[in-house]
Structure 1
Amino acid sequence: MISGFSRSGVAGILAGAALLATTAACGADAAQTTAGDKPAVVAAFYPLQWLTEQVGGSDVQVTGLTAPGVEPHDLELGIQQVAGIQNAALTVYIKGVQPAVDDAVAQDTSFDAATAVTTLPAGEHAEEEGHAEEEHAHEVSYDPHLWLDPARLATVATKLGERLAAADAAHAQAYRDRAAKTAAALEAVDKEFAAGLGTCRTKTLVTAHEAFGYLADRYRLKQVGVTLDPETEPSPARLSEVAKLAKAEGVTTIFTESLVSPKVAEVLANQVGAKTAVLDPLESKPSGDYLSAMRDNLKTLQTALGCTA
């Protein structure tokens, strides 16, 4: 549900937003445009915003729902944001990341990136944390962090180009051309990862939470997440289990992330005799962009896992 609101509160927000959207749409055509006559496109959080900006280019007006530095799972929507979603030509999101967005989107004007690719099942210990999962964003049976596989994101780029072309036929070819260019850039990063992680001393990736399943799957690594999600405190039994595995597999680095307290990772690192390093799950805007942040992640992984290209 939308954080901070009951189901009845959500209904009230949606009703109010619908009224605002209807008012804003009066006199507009079916394409739902901004004041500058460009289709209004809403992107749920950073990786999707970056992708939409690349594929949409100057032909759309992209609005991101999640501000930099905000954990996307914690997103709360105000009435104006919900109205923006309801009045957009397209909303780009991933079901299961942000329940607030899941509740607000309309099926005929939304693009769920998870439907564009083959998804992976939820984390390895999702069942033991089932209660936390119900209260958190992961309300789907699959792992929603698909943007951390650049090859999958390339597929999303291509399909997003088709959705934008269908919504704005006048610029259809431009969307397809930009989608192809974006997919090629993502495929180049994929090749860099495949080469850079081809030979590593260890293949075990110990992370603060299970955000890197797609990356691990793509490059034949083994993800061991301390928790399923960034807001759940691990049990002492889970910490002990991960510490034992990390020692057995010679893990030298425990990965943490910029938007989450490093305390748990530091405790685990002390138990293992390892160090910590930041591996960016790209849930918020980095200092550069998606491509540069992924390349920074590659360098971090190569150092931590003892890889030789």
Structure 2
Amino acid sequence: MIFYSGLVLYAPALALEAVTGLSKNVAILSIGLVCTFYSTIGGMKAVIITDVFQSLLMFGALASIPIFAIQQSGSLTEIWRVAKEGNRTDLLNFEIDPTVRHSWFSLIIGGGITFLSQNCVSQTQVQRYLTVKDLKRARQALWLQFPIIVGLNLCTSLSGLAIYARYYDCDPVSNGSITSSDQLMPHYVVDSTGHIPGLSGLFVAGIFSGSLSSLSSSLNCLAAVTLEDYLKPVYHKLTGSHPTDSQLSFYSKAISFGGGIICIGFAFLAQLLGGVLQAALTVIGILGGPLLGIFSLGMCTINANQKVGLLNGKWFLILILRVR
């Protein structure tokens, strides 16, 4: 969770550098401290309230980019033609080869495991389910997110095709316009739609919203897990009593603040990992896969205990790191 949060914090810093020229280090510190502050003070209620507004900004920014891209290119057909000529639209790759990056085999299996680990056993997602009144509403929320995710993926895919159609014969990384391929999207927004008042600001707000939403949720979950699984048992073992509500509130805020500082540190280290998307997917795959396996083991048999689950999780983690 902390590793992933560092990546989430690093991504908008790249975007802000491409759009405004602000240093990545200053952006990381600014975003990290602001998010740590309101997550520490407000708790889960602040996280949920800010998530709503941040989601609206994020989806608004993502939806606007394909619309303006199609308008500038003349039609979606033109974008698709350029992408097809560059072999970017290979939709019928059915190779059963795990070394092929994008095929039906790799996307269904790899994407399916990633989706399940993020939506079924992720602490941040489960904690969101627990904020609703009952199980029925949690299921409704889960079903409601499916069309939203589909729309989000369509917007990001169309944006990627539009960026390729714009720069297929002039790579901004090669000519020195940007320093990293992770800055392609913000560079495209400034370069192609910068003349439209407010659009660059909307895009930056959307990027910040996605980062702040993920980071605040992670900090809140980190505090909850640390309190329940570590601090409370240790406190009871040492004192023979349970901490009071005021003590729990103080400990929770202290853990959130400390976790935020650690995430800021990992965000600085994220600069050494290369592409943000690949690094994020690697972290999710390495940690989410074994966690999903442990929960699946518990669902399939009643004979598994804590030691068996941890042992299997450890060996799966070693295997994944070895393959990686």
TM-score normalised to structure 2 length = 0.23
TM-score normalised to structure 1 length = 0.24
Larger Rg: 2
Q: Kindly indicate which of the two structures has a greater share of residues assigned to helix.
A: 2
Query: Which one has more relative contact order, counting CA pairs under 8 Å at least 6 apart?
Result: 2
